[in-house]
Structure 1
């Protein structure tokens, strides 16, 4: 199936490809959910890419990192919702999950830093240190390694949505 973008008032619209909702407690009950979900979604959305195996591997790795960020939420309830949409060569991941007020502030800062001009330097400094990678490093890695564009939306008082645009076919081999 080929997905084409429609235009509304001059802007490209991302067409839905796949989505799921899951109780956050069920998601948090086992670490392996991150890998299983990432692998499944990557295979589902990569079948019609020019190099489907490469695309699937890259998408799975990037999405697994994003799910691990959500896995670290400290909010006790709600749903994890994911929607993958496509516009041409770009896949958009909308990951909505519960978070506390402190976590929201963290994400606002981390997304801002990932979009900044020093993102590469911050990322390299973070991974060359002796400290285990943090959620901030994961978001920086998405921006630097996968050339992802990150945005943040507030879904409601206890939820947050990370928007991540990936153009994986444009990455150098």
Structure 2
């Protein structure tokens, strides 16, 4: 095992692996783009894991959920940027996409609630209902099913960056 490197703030340093950028209008034009992008990214980053097929499958499922969050915004202006980095057993997904200020507040509140102690209960209550999954439920699923940590970071212009750390190698 190699040494863990840290940045000036003491955070572990994540090494970049792959990035895909595409225009939002192309991304939201077809639902299948979520699957195409997640499958491609998963195949690329799963290659050097102890069980590459398992890692790719888990990553693809989790990443597809995150892409669905961006897809549901239905904004066609701007760019979707997907970047994956790694630090040890953890993969970091940085997903930047167009977002109006009201939606940004929604995401900030949803991510804060995902980190709360009731996240598991709220997630289980939501999946037991007959409602279609909401963006908040998708974020809860990442936290509960994949042990992910989520945060919202600053992005340029009318965009938002969701940062999701997923320790798939340790699941």
TM-score range (shorter-chain normalised) is over 0.9
Shift of 1:3: 8.8
Structure 2 residue aligned with 1:89: 89
Structure 1 unaligned blocks of 5 or more: none
Alpha-carbon distance in structure 2 between the residues aligned to 1:169 and 1:30? 31
Query: CA deviation digits over 1:47-93, x for unaligned, max 9?
Result: 01001000000000000000010001143400000110000110000
Query: CA deviation digits over 1:84-136, x for unaligned, max 9?
Result: 00001100000000011221111111101110000000000111112111111
Alpha-carbon distance in structure 2 between the residues aligned to 1:41 and 1:4? 26
Contact residue 7 and residue 13 of structure 2 kept, 8 A:
yes
Structure 2 unaligned blocks of 5 or more: none
Alpha-carbon distance in structure 2 between the residues aligned to 1:91 and 1:110? 21
How do 1:7-86 residues align onto structure 2 when only pairs under 5 Å count?
7-9=6-8, 10-86=10-86
Contact residue 5 and residue 15 of structure 1 kept, 8 A:
no
Alpha-carbon distance in structure 1 between the residues aligned to 2:154 and 2:6? 25
Shift of 1:8: 2.9
Query: CA deviation digits over 1:15-59, x for unaligned, max 9?
Result: 000001100001111110000110010010000100100000000
Paired residues in the alignment total 170
Relative to structure 1, the CA distance from residue 129 to residue 156 in structure 2 (aligned partners, 3 Å threshold; closer, same or farther) is same
Contact residue 153 and residue 162 of structure 1 kept, 8 A:
yes
Structure 2 residue aligned with 1:154: 154
TM-score (norm 2): 0.94
Contact residue 28 and residue 74 of structure 2 kept, 8 A:
no
How do 1:133-148 residues align onto structure 2 when only pairs under 5 Å count?
133-148=133-148
TM-score (norm 1): 0.93
Alpha-carbon distance in structure 1 between the residues aligned to 2:36 and 2:155? 25
